[in-house]
Structure 1
């Protein structure tokens, strides 16, 4: 089934109508490995299955995994996890900051052609898994864009033009949103409605938030379960300010669990925290209707594509 505009969300079990996502965690990780996470990698299939079960018990129905190329996505495991849990899963292609990769891995991607890698994973599948990605994940730097970010975003823009896929952006500590939009939507001419800006809760600059929303980008408030992010308590205020400015239809909510210790099955807040604790607090700030829209209709629209491949 597809939407009236012919758009679908590409999940690991196939394309579905945007409205079929249900309650969606718009940014999280079932698997994630990096030299920056020694001893805390998300690499257990059993733990991923248990976390999905806990999320479903809390009312969740879909998860968008932003884990990009070369960071332990375990794409072949995702269809089985989706079937067993009853949770729709969307996988990602893309590339994170250079610090997450060995230099030789990046050299190989340059030789192969990064845009071609993204397009292949969106249209044919990740490796030999047969699982097609449903979004492109890239990353900016702290208050700016280095050469690596410009390379990955240029490749992402090309892959978007070839497929229609949305581009989700890790903003380092929530900064650099306007620089990203200048590059992706200005220089590279990606429609703002196909850009999802992540981690805006980490830099509660309401003026930047309003400018990004006014441009037409999606704003993801994700990762609100990390105690060391001292700005997280400002998230309800940021969401309220955007809603009052008329931008409630541009907002998304995600958990962004990135370490094994943060999983609920290991004693951390994990994915269920988004619905058990964060959602009620946001409801008190902006009302149930808007929060329901953020985790259902908005998510469906943000990740829906009239796929060209």
Structure 2
């Protein structure tokens, strides 16, 4: 039976509810000095605010080595009643100390599988997806190694692979590698940030693979998010891809949290949802927030620990 692997255990897809399909409660990176998400109290308040806005589940895409705080995720999920999914995987090399990717070389797939099936460190929390990243209009050697390892881990466990697309680019290169060379089924791949490069032709080509398109990061003035997203969602739905769409907030710095004066997770439901309802109707939006994530993150797990 397919289940969603949350930080508190496996969950029936029908219980997943209204989902923020790409966000972060904890995150740190050398590229974001002084802007870390590492405050447990703020994370709890943000989850509570999301819950009060009608949210039920959050998928955290923070991968290996970027401050996931898996044990705290479990405590926060239990305290707030919000289902939380944690990621394994590896981001771009720039997000790590130079020695870390080299230290993991040759055993990336082993690490990913272990975190999916046995748990992250001593936390007892198992990851529910694999997060990797492409580059700007291409894939460097680090990205190819990480994606190849992610594909191997997928084949061993069934876990979905979520991909950060740098400024929304290289979607087709990612699909060529994961689905073409590595044999990952399209419906096990989630492309993040595709809306940051609002090319409807590429979006439809990507959707043709059967993958999921995550329209994440609304409220960002420097990306084509809020103001271009509704028309893209409508165009994809009208083209028959309404069952492949996901929505996420992608809060990556402390100042973006609602509890710190930013839009945060509640923005997805308070502002983005009604705008999309006006564009494509309430039923389509319900599918994007409820039905689609339940299918995207549900897995018939193999090698379950």
For the superposition of Structure 1 and Structure 2, which TM-score range results when normalised by the shorter chain? over 0.9
- TM-score (structure 1 length as normaliser): 0.97
Give me the whole-angstrom Cα distance separating, in 2, the residues matched to 1:192 and 1:228: 30
- Contact 2:192/2:213 (8 A) holds in 1: yes
CA deviation after TM superposition for structure 1 residue 214, in Å: 1.2
Matched, 1:75 2:74: no
In structure 2, stretches of 5+ residues that fail to align are: none
- Contact 1:201/1:232 (8 A) holds in 2: no
Matched, 1:33 2:28: yes
2:51 matched residue in structure 1: 56
In the TM superposition, what whole-angstrom CA distance separates every residue of 1:102-136 from its partner, at most 9, and x where no partner exists?
1111121115x000000000000001100000000
101-110 vs 22-31, which deviates more? 101-110
Matched, 1:45 2:36: no
- Contact 2:218/2:225 (8 A) holds in 1: no
2:96 matched residue in structure 1: 101
Give me the whole-angstrom Cα distance separating, in 2, the residues matched to 1:185 and 1:298: 20
Give me the whole-angstrom Cα distance separating, in 1, the residues matched to 2:23 and 2:219: 12
- Contact 1:22/1:296 (8 A) holds in 2: yes
Aligned pair partner of 2:261 in 249, 261, 267: 267
1:221 matched residue in structure 2: 215
- Contact 2:195/2:215 (8 A) holds in 1: yes
Give me the whole-angstrom Cα distance separating, in 1, the residues matched to 2:194 and 2:281: 20
Please list, as runs of the form range in 1=range in 2, the aligned pairs for 1:15-26 lying within 5 A after superposition. Answer: 15-26=10-21
SS at structure 2 position matched to 1:247: helix
Matched, 1:286 2:280: yes
SS at structure 1 position matched to 2:84: strand
Aligned pair partner of 1:196 in 190, 194, 214: 190
Aligned pair partner of 1:181 in 175, 182, 185: 175
CA deviation after TM superposition for structure 1 residue 231, in Å: 4.9
Give me the whole-angstrom Cα distance separating, in 2, the residues matched to 1:27 and 1:230: 17
1:163 matched residue in structure 2: 157
In the TM superposition, what whole-angstrom CA distance separates every residue of 1:130-175 from its partner, at most 9, and x where no partner exists?
0000000000001111100000000000000000000000000011
- TM-score (structure 2 length as normaliser): 0.98
1:65 matched residue in structure 2: 60
CA deviation after TM superposition for structure 1 residue 227, in Å: 2.1
> For the structure 1 residues 299 and 230, does the alpha-carbon distance in structure 2 shift closer, same or farther, using more than 3 Å as the test?
closer
2:119 matched residue in structure 1: 125
Give me the whole-angstrom Cα distance separating, in 1, the residues matched to 2:65 and 2:196: 25
Give me the whole-angstrom Cα distance separating, in 1, the residues matched to 2:222 and 2:278: 23
Matched, 1:296 2:296: no
CA deviation after TM superposition for structure 1 residue 268, in Å: 0.2
Give me the whole-angstrom Cα distance separating, in 2, the residues matched to 1:232 and 1:170: 19
In the TM superposition, what whole-angstrom CA distance separates every residue of 1:48-88 from its partner, at most 9, and x where no partner exists?
00000000000000000000000000001011100110000
1:3 matched residue in structure 2: none
4+ residue runs of structure 1 moved beyond 4 angstroms? none
- Contact 2:4/2:128 (8 A) holds in 1: yes
How many residues align? The count is 303
Give me the whole-angstrom Cα distance separating, in 2, the residues matched to 1:138 and 1:116: 15
CA RMSD of aligned residues (A): 0.8
SS at structure 2 position matched to 1:179: helix
